[in-house]
Amino acid sequence: MKKWEEHVRRVVPYTPGEQPNRPGMIKLNTNENPYPPSPEVQKALEGLKADSFRLYPDPSASELITALAEYYGKDRERFFVGVGSDDVIAMAFQTFFNSEKPILFPDISYSFYSVWAELFGIPYRRPALDQEFRLVKEDYFAENGGIIFPNPNAPTGIYMELDGVEEILARNPDSVVIVDEAYVDFAGPSAMELVDRYENLMVVQTFSKSRSMAGMRIGFAYAQPALIRYLNDVKYSFNSYTMNLPSLKLGAAALKDRSYFQETVGKIVNTRERVKKELSALGFSFPDSRANFIFASHESCPARELFEALKEQNIYVRYFSSPGIDNYLRITVGTDEEMDALLEFLNRYLNGKKERE
C-alpha cells in the first residue's frame, strides 16, 4: 500500500443496474417508465436557451418547489428538492441519522441504504422480512437512531397500508422516520397525509419512475418545515446548486400535466396486473407487487439462467445474487408490447426446456 493510500476513505459502492444502449433492446432492468414524459416537458425543453446556462441556477429551486406546493396543495416550506431521491436520501442520512444508536431498515430493501450508512459511519441494523417478504412492523418498535424503509418496498414491491406506517411512527416519536416512496404512485395513498400529525416524518418521492424523468434526476422530500430547514442547512453546507436549470424548469412543467400523469400510471398498473396473471400461468410466483416491477421466481428454472437467456434475446431484467433473493428476477413493467415479447420468450424457453428434459 502506498503511504497516501492509508488515508483514503475506502467504501464498497452501490452497483446501479446496467445501462446498455443496444439497438432493439427491451430494457426492463432499472424500473424506468416506458412512456415519454408529458408533452409539457417537451414544450418547456424547446423553450430553453443555451444562454441561460451562463448563470447559476436558483439555489432555492423556487420554481420547482412552487410547482410541487401547488400540485400537492401544501406550503412551500414543506418541500426540499434534490438530484434524484438518492441525493435527497443521502442528505437526510447525514442530517438526521446522527445518533450512537443504530438506524433500522429491512434486510431486503434498497441496497443503497447500507452503502450510505457505511460511507457516513452510521451504525445500522437490518431486521429480517417475514417468510412472505413482508416488513414486520414490531421490529421497528425497538430503540433506534432513525428508521428508513421504502413503501412499496424494493425489490419486493410490497406496499404497507398507511395504518401500519402510522403505527411505526406512533412508536418512534424520538427519531426521524423516512418513508421512501419511490414507487408509491403505482401503489396507494402516500404517507404525505401523515405529515401534519408527525413532526418526525419525512416522505421522499422521485420523478424517475411515475413521471418518466429518470434522466433529469429530480427527487423531493415532504415534511414539516423544521425538518426541511435542517435538511437545507446540510445542503447549503455541501453544494448550494444541486439542481441544474433544465431540471428545475422541466420538473415544474411535468407537474402541470396531471391528466397525462394519471393516464400513464394507469396504463402501467393495468399492464402489471395482466402480466402477473400471465407469469402465474407460466409457473412464476411473486409477492403482490404494487410498484412498476414484479419480483418473480420460477417453480423450476433458476433465475440466473433466465436472466442470462433473456439477455441473449436483448431483454434486460435485474438479477440480484444476494442471499434470500438469488432465485428472483426483478422485471420492470414496460409497455404492453414489451411485456408481450418477454412473455412470449419465457413461454418458448420454458416449454423448450421441458421438452429437452
Closest to ligand PMP by CB, 219 vs 251, is 219
Answer for the pair 218, 204: CB distance below 8 angstroms, yes or no: no
Closest to ligand PMP by CB, 87 vs 257, is 87
Nearest approach in angstroms of CB 109 to ligand PMP is 8
Is 157 a binder of ligand PMP (CB under 6 A)?
Answer: no
| Amino acid, single-letter form, for residue 284 | F
* Residues 6+ positions from 323 with CB-CB distance below 8 Å: none
Taking residues 180 to 199 in sequence order and writing x for each that binds ligand PMP by CB under 6 A, - otherwise, the string is: x-x-----------------
How far apart, in whole angstroms, are the C-alpha atoms of residue 112 and residue 135? 18
Among the candidate windows 80-88, 223-231, 256-264, 305-313, which touches ligand PMP by CB under 6 A?
A: 80-88
Is 84 a binder of ligand PMP (CB under 6 A)?
Answer: yes
Closest to ligand PMP by CB, 150 vs 251, is 150
Nearest approach in angstroms of CB 85 to ligand PMP is 3
Segment (H or E) for 81: strand 79-82
Is 287 a binder of ligand PMP (CB under 6 A)?
Answer: no
Restricting to residues 216-235, which ones interact with ligand PMP according to CB under 6 A? 219
Nearest approach in angstroms of CB 154 to ligand PMP is 4
* Residues 6+ positions from 335 with CB-CB distance below 8 Å: 34, 35, 271
Q: 27, 33, 44, 86: which one contacts ligand PMP (CB under 6 A)?
A: 86
Is 345 a binder of ligand PMP (CB under 6 A)?
Answer: no
Is 102 a binder of ligand PMP (CB under 6 A)?
Answer: no
Strands 177-180 and 147-150 turn out to be parallel
Is 110 a binder of ligand PMP (CB under 6 A)?
Answer: yes
Q: 165, 177, 214, 228: which one contacts ligand PMP (CB under 6 A)?
A: 214
Is 342 a binder of ligand PMP (CB under 6 A)?
Answer: no
Closest to ligand PMP by CB, 123 vs 215, is 215
Q: 85, 144, 212, 289: which one contacts ligand PMP (CB under 6 A)?
A: 85
User: Exposed/middle/buried for 354, CB within 10 Å: 0-12, 13-18, 19+?
Assistant: exposed
How far apart, in whole angstroms, are the C-alpha atoms of residue 261 and residue 138? 36
- Cell numbers for 102, please give them: 443504530
Answer for the pair 303, 326: CB distance below 8 angstroms, yes or no: yes
Nearest approach in angstroms of CB 61 to ligand PMP is 15
The per-residue DSSP string of 97-135 comes to --SSSPEE--SSS-THHHHHHHHHT--EE-PPP-TTS--
Is 247 a binder of ligand PMP (CB under 6 A)?
Answer: no
Among the candidate windows 83-91, 191-199, 322-330, 348-356, which touches ligand PMP by CB under 6 A?
A: 83-91
Nearest approach in angstroms of CB 110 to ligand PMP is 4
| Total interface residues for ligand PMP by CB under 6 A | 12
How far apart, in whole angstroms, are the C-alpha atoms of residue 212 and residue 35? 7
Give the CA angle between residues 336, 40, 70 to the nearest 5°.
110
Is 178 a binder of ligand PMP (CB under 6 A)?
Answer: no
Is 28 a binder of ligand PMP (CB under 6 A)?
Answer: no
Closest to ligand PMP by CB, 38 vs 153, is 153
* Residues 6+ positions from 77 with CB-CB distance below 8 Å: 225, 228
How far apart, in whole angstroms, are the C-alpha atoms of residue 161 and residue 144? 22
Of 195, 258, 183, the C-alpha closest to 219 is 183
Question: Helix 225-236 vs helix 84-96: angle between axes, to the nearest 10 degrees?
Answer: 100
- Cell numbers for 167, please give them: 403505527
The binding site for ligand PMP (CB under 6 A) comprises: 84-86, 110, 150, 154, 180, 182, 206, 208, 214, 219
